Amino acid sequence: MDALGLPYRAVSPDVDEGVPPGTPAREAVLLLAERKARAVAARYPEALVLGADQLVEVGGEVLGKPADREQARRQLMRVLGRVHDIVTGVALVGPGVHTTHVESTLLRFYPLQAEELERYLDLEEWRGCAGSYRIEGAGMGLIAGMEGDLTNVRGLPMLAVVRMLRQAGVTFFPSRR
């Protein structure tokens, strides 16, 4: 968001991030993105609020944020050497505005030997990350191929966000004179 030069403030939505068991990833991220955006919009009713949530899906299994190193190891072992899907839900809510979008990006990771996997886990990039990796860091070294928007993998699909903001009437490149 900083690169756009638009004023914004990050606000924790303080919402329950639970979804019913078995909820498909696309539905779950949309539900959570809307829940987050609405919670913040209730506190700031005049603001344009962007909410987002991201999950990783591999072979029909949804991977959220790991609780510990062992769960991170299991998650990474599920995605290494395979194609998996990064699914992000985005909701834009404000006065006269309510729009949503789900972005999907396919990633293929290199297979790793056990020793290399442990070295990656030692970096602790898995903390707080769905799927147990952080593409903005050393996790970039896991990617063998990608189909889709890299910004989605990083957490927020900026192509979709810019489109949503423009449709909501946000002015880009304000005059600085």
Indicate which residues carry an active-site annotation. 53
Between the CA atoms of 122, 154, 30 and 42, what dihedral angle is there, to the nearest 10 degrees?
100
CA distance 75 to 175: 47
Tell me how far apart the terminal alpha carbons of the chain are, to the nearest angstrom: 22
Task: Quote the radius of gyration of the chain (alpha carbons, Å).
Answer: 17
* Phi/psi of residue 75, nearest 5 degrees: -65, -45
Q: Which tokens in the block code for residue 122?
A: 């030692």
Give counts: helices (H), strands (E), the chain. 5, 5
> Is 20 in a helix, a strand, or coil?
coil
Contacts of residue 163, Cβ cutoff 8 Å, sequence gap at least 6: 101
Residue type, 125: E
